[in-house]
Amino acid sequence: MKVFKFLVLGLTTAVMMSCGGGNSEEQGKPELREAEGYYQEGDKKYKIYYGGIFRINEVENFKNLFPHGMIDAVSSRIGTQIYQGLYKFDQRTLEPVNCLAASEEVGENAKVWTFHIQKGVFFQDDACFSGGKGREMTAKDIKYCFEMLCSNYPGNTSHELFTQRVVGARDYYDGKANEVSGIKLIDDYTLEITLTSSFSGFKSLLAHPGCMIFPKEAIDKYGVEGMAKKCVGTGPFMVDQISDNQVRLVRNPNYWEKDENGNQLPYLDIVKITFTKDKKSELSNFRKKNLDMIWKLPVDEMENVLASLEEAQMGGNPEFRYQQVNGLNTQFYAFNATSPIFQDIRVRKAFNYAVNRESLIKHTLKGENEPAEHGLVPKFGKYDNSNVPGFEYDPDEAKKLMAEAGYPNGKGFPELTLYINEGGSINTIVATTLQNQLKESIGVDVTIEPLQLDVLIERFATGETDFTRTSWIADFPDPSNFLWLFYGKNVPDDPHARSLPNFSRYKNPVFDEYLEKGMASIDPDEQMMYYNMCDSILVADAALLPLYHDQYIRLVQNDIVGFPINAMEYRDLTRVFKSK
């Protein structure tokens, strides 16, 4: 979950030592200091160095850096450098690995989990603590954060992570209990969690940003709203400066983790994140070496960039590294299930048949993505979506369905606005293509209205939009993470209350039943069968308009080491360093 990661998309941080220009950090060439040992990457061995500034740009600004309010990808990519949970993801494999949990014991049927907490982990120094000195983190802090995650308070966008899964969490959320009965403090370094049913993806769920740990002292001093920008965690970097144009993170001098050579982590001194919306400007800054990486290329620059890279590689001297992977992501347009416009399933199906996804990929996106022709969930790992039916381009069937619904050639169809987030020109380019296809295929006029990300999220969540551009980047690598977006029991009774993460307000009790069975199963084959059935139901109901799955492309400067790409664009900068 996270709630919708509107592509912005779906980690990082930073800035220079001062706001003025001209210093060595601003030029990206701070002093590097030798550390112990070497790093092996493929057939190459790199000497490890401390120091340096890692510079990244995001085309959208972050919305909220408080763990329970991180509902967009940019916030998560920044927040993951500051905060930590019991687990985090291996940056290469996306397998959950131990972080604040030193070890765990799992009871029979995977319902009772006992976590043994790392000792000697300290919160970052902050004015919320006595004397400004960070104190040791214990299991008591984890219980506090997890119970707060289960609390019904404004700004908690992640409660459904636990309220449907942990014993007593729903009663606590509804105000029927004083504590979550399924979260028990055993001692200072041991915590026990009891689930309502087994869930094989629980480790991965605990690596979700909403499960990251913070101190009560920070809440007491800054409040939930204040912690949207005032961050206190246990992570490798801490916030030094936040403005409208950039975020600067600096190395946490008291970070608890060391590498295999005994070097205290992290290696980098500074992480700088800027917020320039124009992708062409971003690419230009990368070429000038003012950025250390960029994620996703401008569509109209794709061929030129890749051609120049191929030419340089043939000459044995590429000026940057190219990384590519099929993203664990789906771009789609959401129907508001409570909107009168989309109550008729024939209309929803007609919209799906009216879209030529192959043409969208080939001509608009220049072939760098995969059409979403088999439901919502992309193929990955043990999940095969090939037997999930989809919608092929069939304008004749689309016209027929619209006529049956009372809108021959689109006549009499209500005014319709497609809301998109304004960051990144690709959203507008795709929306314009779909606007033309819908007009040509079924005679429907669509107005495109770009909104700031935070405004779009709020209007989408409160049911104020009928037709919305969105996307989902997995928070953890499990099909249930996608399907959870349509779990009906997360939809509030109040039609104007925030519906998270089921923004579409879709309800189907059979879908809910199969999803629950899939998440509770400890048999991988049975699990995937139920997930396939869930996705097939979404297609049968035409509950959404799937468009495509991204192929993630990153360009990385040659001196950046230890920064592999992955299908979630999950970024962990703890072990990234600059080489000479």
- For 566-579, write each residue's pLDDT tens digit: 999 999 999 999 99
Provide the pairing of β-strand 237-242 with 246-251. antiparallel
Q: Are 375 and 539 in contact (CB under 8 A)?
A: yes
User: pLDDT digit string (tens) for 499-549?
Assistant: 999 999 999 999 999 999 999 998 999 999 999 999 999 999 999 999 999
For the domain covering 1-82+235-318+558-580, report its CATH number: 3.40.190.10
User: pLDDT digit string (tens) for 473-491?
Assistant: 999 999 999 999 999 999 9
Whether the per-residue pLDDT at 3 is higher than 50: the answer is no
Q: Are 187 and 27 in contact (CB under 8 A)?
A: no
Measured distance CA(325)–CA(345) in Å, rounded: 35
Domain 329-552: what homologous superfamily?
Dipeptide-binding Protein; Domain 3 (3.10.105.10)
What is the average pLDDT value for the chain, to the nearest integer? Answer: 93
Whether the per-residue pLDDT at 301 is higher than 90: the answer is no
Give the pLDDT band of residue 18 (cuts 50, 70, 90).
Answer: very low
DSSP three-state, residue 362: helix
In this structure, what are the phi and psi dihedrals at residue 486, rounded to the nearest 5 degrees? Answer: -120, 20
Determine the pLDDT at residue 317.
65
The string over 340-358, giving b where at least 16 C-beta atoms fall within 10 Å of a residue's C-beta and e elsewhere, is: eebebebbbbbbbbbbbbe
Determine the pLDDT at residue 532.
98
Percent of the chain with pLDDT over 90: 86
Give the pLDDT band of residue 308 (cuts 50, 70, 90).
Answer: confident
Determine the pLDDT at residue 196.
96
**Mean local confidence (pLDDT), 114-122:** 99
Determine the pLDDT at residue 323.
94
User: pLDDT digit string (tens) for 336-376?
Assistant: 999 999 999 999 999 999 999 999 999 999 887 999 999 99
What residue ranges of the chain are covered by domains with CATH 3.90.76.10?
A: 84-229
Determine the pLDDT at residue 5.
40
Measured distance CA(468)–CA(63) in Å, rounded: 19
Report which of residues 368 and 97 the model is more confident about: 97
**Mean local confidence (pLDDT), 9-32:** 45
Measured distance CA(441)–CA(110) in Å, rounded: 50
Give the pLDDT band of residue 288 (cuts 50, 70, 90).
Answer: very high
Determine the pLDDT at residue 424.
63
Q: Are 395 and 437 in contact (CB under 8 A)?
A: no
What residue ranges of the chain are covered by domains with CATH 3.10.105.10?
A: 329-552
DSSP type of residue 166: B
**Mean local confidence (pLDDT), 32-42:** 95
Give the pLDDT band of residue 315 (cuts 50, 70, 90).
Answer: low
Determine the pLDDT at residue 422.
85
User: pLDDT digit string (tens) for 408-438?
Assistant: 999 999 999 999 998 667 999 999 999 999 9
Give the Cβ contact number of residue 300 at 10 Å. 12
DSSP three-state, residue 376: coil
The string over 435-461, giving b where at least 16 C-beta atoms fall within 10 Å of a residue's C-beta and e elsewhere, is: bebbeebbbbebeeebbebbebbeebb
User: pLDDT digit string (tens) for 399-409?
Assistant: 999 999 999 99
Whether the per-residue pLDDT at 23 is higher than 70: the answer is no
User: pLDDT digit string (tens) for 244-261?
Assistant: 899 999 999 999 999 999
CA atoms within 13 A on the CB side of 570: 22
Domain 84-229: what homologous superfamily?
Dipeptide-binding Protein; Domain 1 (3.90.76.10)
Measured distance CA(212)–CA(224) in Å, rounded: 14
Q: Are 569 and 293 in contact (CB under 8 A)?
A: no
Q: Are 544 and 332 in contact (CB under 8 A)?
A: yes
Tokens, residue 124: 């970052």
Determine the pLDDT at residue 518.
96
**Mean local confidence (pLDDT), 277-285:** 94
Q: Which of 290-304, 520-534, 556-570 has the lowest mean pLDDT?
A: 290-304
Report which of residues 345 and 306 the model is more confident about: 345
DSSP type of residue 258: B
Which amino acid would we find at residue 405?
A: A
Q: Which residues, 6 or more positions from 439, have their beta carbon under 8 angstroms from its beta carbon?
A: 410, 445, 446
What residue ranges of the chain are covered by domains with CATH 3.40.190.10?
A: 1-82+235-318+558-580
Residue 94: is it exposed, middle or buried by C-beta count within 10 angstroms (0-12/13-18/19+)?
A: buried
> Quick one: CA torsion of 205, 206, 210, 214, rounded to 10 degrees?
180
Q: Are 160 and 1 in contact (CB under 8 A)?
A: yes
Report which of residues 299 and 231 the model is more confident about: 231
Determine the pLDDT at residue 302.
83
Residue 180: is it exposed, middle or buried by C-beta count within 10 angstroms (0-12/13-18/19+)?
A: buried
* R_g over Cα of the chain: 24
Give the pLDDT band of residue 110 (cuts 50, 70, 90).
Answer: confident
The string over 400-411, giving b where at least 16 C-beta atoms fall within 10 Å of a residue's C-beta and e elsewhere, is: bbbbebebeebe
Determine the pLDDT at residue 1.
39
Whether the per-residue pLDDT at 169 is higher than 90: the answer is yes
**Mean local confidence (pLDDT), 93-119:** 96
Determine the pLDDT at residue 434.
98
**Mean local confidence (pLDDT), 164-177:** 97
Chain position carrying tokens 């600096």: 250
